[in-house]
Structure 1
């Protein structure tokens, strides 16, 4: 979408004419300051209209009046609000990635080896003097710049990599010790004997990992003749596949050749009894098949105050749609849109991150997580992304077999709570 068309769409939205906003708005990435301001204004204007129409809908339902037209209007405004918020969220994530030194046109930090890698991609050639790691199978470690490019792109796409703590390791496995306490002390007088006291104990926890791979292909003629940036092409192919696989594994992975997902550590989950500190606590939503405002408040206050400073909500877009309609006792909406560029929407004052692979709202599901993700979940990256160039298996295509070893697991259950869709006992 052109900049002129974007401004036209936003102007129409600000005038209240949401029917004229093209569906393509959800794919917009506004890089200019004026565009960002227009997105923020559009979100807030849409939310004001959403509140007004939603209130009319509720009043009509209470009065027993037909509400089909109002409901359709509310859903239409809600969809437009989603489009504006998604565009603003994408812009915010892109800004954050640039601030982290991620993908965004930064200068190559290893240009010489990158040039050699391009030669290797095209013809299978490589300058031995620049080789930073070859194995006996004939594969070469990718240049560190390309390695960083893939990781940067994963940060942009995989929400859990933005939220969780990421640890790079150089060994096959990773385990962590946990202090279980038990150290004793006592009061004594000046000349009283000091008998030996109890000593604390430790337990360890291993973090499961697996190998994730992608195997994109291109014809040899394209590699010979193309003027495209081969590194960008390869990175784009790989990051899409890796991000899809990781996104599911970090949430619900079963540990079989993949990480253990954070949801498996929730009370009642497959790994509820694995961590030395116990399982992630559950708070009921207050209704058998829906989220409630009281349930959201209970979820917030069940988390110890020591962990609320960096706490945030994680849920998918369908759940956000239902959560957006919740009000407190004074009739105020718990969900609030972004008021500043670079800041996410909030729920009861805490930021929300959209995680597409979270479950939908349904009886006994856990569609909402709330807490400090960096203290809760650990992603373990085996250092390096490796690519093997294979021009023989699928002639005339050249395969680029790309692998990365990654693991993950629960670091500490205490900074996190999960909302379970269930009535209060």
Structure 2
């Protein structure tokens, strides 16, 4: 065990180095690659320390307290390092100030962008109101705010998609109405084999039903000083996008997992759950680990394999695991019968880790492992969960409520829910 005594200080130093890089305005590709190398090296140190812990358990049926604490410290450091590497990769992918968003070639869009800039900076509304009246926009008005330029909306959507874990993996539809309705067949038409000259029996009419996802209003209210608004060097589009993206991403992430559908999207964990053997449409099937608040003591990986094969083959090709960081730290210690770790880090910056060769999406809104908690979800989220976005992000300028600051009441409409109950399965940490 002495061979590993310097691992924790070394990992702590590398984590500090990563956080320093993250604090810089814009990392380059070499910094992201170096950060990933440091993370992969830390994972090797974790495997060595955990192997030592497992060897102690095998020899003495228990591990030293010092070894257990050391493994947990490295595990927590790995979580922080992975988060920092992902944020560095995301920062590298973002457009720089003044790039992309300022280049607008369509005259109508350029005019709208200029009018919106005047509205945000000076509160001048005449040009913007005239432009939106010409466009016959039913989505904005002086009381409800004005639509942001298309480039700003795309920037907000892109950043939110990167920061919101469920949005990044789910199906997304853009709508122009208040809700999205989708018909589906509960009972298909009768069918069968028939000979060439035999009479055809009249078939039954297919039974149709409908699911509906209303778009709910999500808002954020960033504040700016008059000095910032007067500074012509500030890209107002990018400033607004960066101010609202964190608030939007956090609220969406929580709603897509356990939202109750009241004034917010309905999360996939809010639907009725049944044992997978008794699955029926409208409910999510789950498998139980067989132990309260834990994996089974013997062959814990078997439950994960069963969860994978509980999903039909057509959905497995694009399937992934979803869990929070605490659950992932437990999974990271598991091995297969040949001594190989089930969890493996991503081999490129921004690439997700894998579990049994399936990607892992980390969502902090998923429950942690405890008795009867459905802490792990698996399936094809692109086909199983649908997010609907109503076109248009609105901004209402408010210079009065928080003087001397100017508030920007920014809203978008989002809905969501499960659209295919066969595509998703859950793992319940309980006995049945």
After TM superposition, the score normalised by the length of structure 2 is 0.84
Going from structure 1 to structure 2, the CA distance change for 1:187 and 1:145 (only over 3 Å counts) comes to closer
Residue in structure 2 matched with residue 35 of structure 1 by the alignment: 31
Residue in structure 1 matched with residue 286 of structure 2 by the alignment: 282
Whether the 8 Å CA contact 2:316–2:379 is kept in 1: the answer is yes
Residue in structure 1 matched with residue 177 of structure 2 by the alignment: 171
Structure 1 residue 24, shift from structure 2 partner: 5.9
Residue in structure 1 matched with residue 330 of structure 2 by the alignment: 322
Residue in structure 1 matched with residue 384 of structure 2 by the alignment: 376
- Stretch deviating more after TM superposition (305-314 or 144-153): 144-153
SS in 1 for 2:265: coil
Asked if 1:385 corresponds to 2:393, the answer is yes
Going from structure 1 to structure 2, the CA distance change for 1:160 and 1:104 (only over 3 Å counts) comes to farther
Q: In angstroms, what is the RMSD of aligned CA positions?
A: 3.0
Residue in structure 2 matched with residue 255 of structure 1 by the alignment: 261
- Stretch deviating more after TM superposition (113-122 or 72-81): 72-81
Residue in structure 1 matched with residue 164 of structure 2 by the alignment: 158
Structure 1 residue 222, shift from structure 2 partner: 4.4
Structure 1 residue 46, shift from structure 2 partner: 2.0
Q: Residues of 1 paired with 2:85 and 2:15: CA distance? A: 16
- Stretch deviating more after TM superposition (49-58 or 319-328): 49-58
- Stretch deviating more after TM superposition (223-232 or 280-289): 223-232
CA offset digits 1:157-212 (Å, max 9, x no partner): 11111011111111112111011233123444444322311121111011143111
CA offset digits 1:240-273 (Å, max 9, x no partner): 221121111111111111111111125159xxx9
Residue in structure 2 matched with residue 115 of structure 1 by the alignment: 114
- Stretch deviating more after TM superposition (27-36 or 179-188): 27-36
Going from structure 1 to structure 2, the CA distance change for 1:16 and 1:183 (only over 3 Å counts) comes to same
* Structure 1: segments with no counterpart, 5+ residues: 1-12
Asked if 1:349 corresponds to 2:339, the answer is no
Asked if 1:245 corresponds to 2:251, the answer is yes
Q: Where do residues 223-238 of structure 1 align in structure 2 (5 Å cutoff)?
A: 223-224=229-230, 227-238=233-244
Residue in structure 1 matched with residue 155 of structure 2 by the alignment: 149
Q: Where do residues 90-239 of structure 1 align in structure 2 (5 Å cutoff)?
A: 90-93=87-90, 105-107=99-101, 108-109=103-104, 110-126=109-125, 127-128=127-128, 130-131=131-132, 132=135, 133=137, 134-135=140-141, 137=143, 139-220=145-226, 222-224=228-230, 227-239=233-245
CA offset digits 1:36-94 (Å, max 9, x no partner): 43333323322222122112112223415661221222223223322332233334556
Q: Residues of 2 paired with 1:222 and 1:150: CA distance? A: 20
Q: Residues of 2 paired with 1:297 and 1:242: CA distance? A: 35
Aligned pair count?
Answer: 405
Going from structure 1 to structure 2, the CA distance change for 1:137 and 1:49 (only over 3 Å counts) comes to closer
- Stretch deviating more after TM superposition (229-238 or 148-157): 229-238
Structure 1 residue 349, shift from structure 2 partner: 0.7
- Stretch deviating more after TM superposition (159-168 or 332-341): 332-341
Going from structure 1 to structure 2, the CA distance change for 1:276 and 1:119 (only over 3 Å counts) comes to farther
SS in 1 for 2:273: coil
Q: Residues of 1 paired with 2:98 and 2:79: CA distance? A: 26
Q: Residues of 2 paired with 1:324 and 1:123: CA distance? A: 53
Structure 1 residue 237, shift from structure 2 partner: 2.1
SS in 2 for 1:329: coil
Q: Residues of 1 paired with 2:340 and 2:355: CA distance? A: 11
Going from structure 1 to structure 2, the CA distance change for 1:37 and 1:255 (only over 3 Å counts) comes to same
Q: Residues of 2 paired with 1:21 and 1:403: CA distance? A: 40
SS in 2 for 1:50: helix
Going from structure 1 to structure 2, the CA distance change for 1:84 and 1:184 (only over 3 Å counts) comes to same
Q: Where do residues 43-58 of structure 1 align in structure 2 (5 Å cutoff)?
A: 43-58=39-54
Whether the 8 Å CA contact 1:141–1:384 is kept in 2: the answer is yes
Whether the 8 Å CA contact 1:39–1:88 is kept in 2: the answer is yes
Asked if 1:69 corresponds to 2:69, the answer is no
After TM superposition, the score normalised by the length of structure 1 is 0.86
Going from structure 1 to structure 2, the CA distance change for 1:118 and 1:355 (only over 3 Å counts) comes to same
Residue in structure 1 matched with residue 3 of structure 2 by the alignment: none
* Structure 2: segments with no counterpart, 5+ residues: 1-5
CA offset digits 1:296-349 (Å, max 9, x no partner): 111112111111111111111111101101111222211011223442211011
The one of 258, 264, 267 aligned to 2:273? 267
Whether the 8 Å CA contact 2:371–2:430 is kept in 1: the answer is yes
Whether the 8 Å CA contact 1:14–1:45 is kept in 2: the answer is no
Asked if 1:80 corresponds to 2:77, the answer is yes
Q: Residues of 2 paired with 1:318 and 1:331: CA distance? A: 22
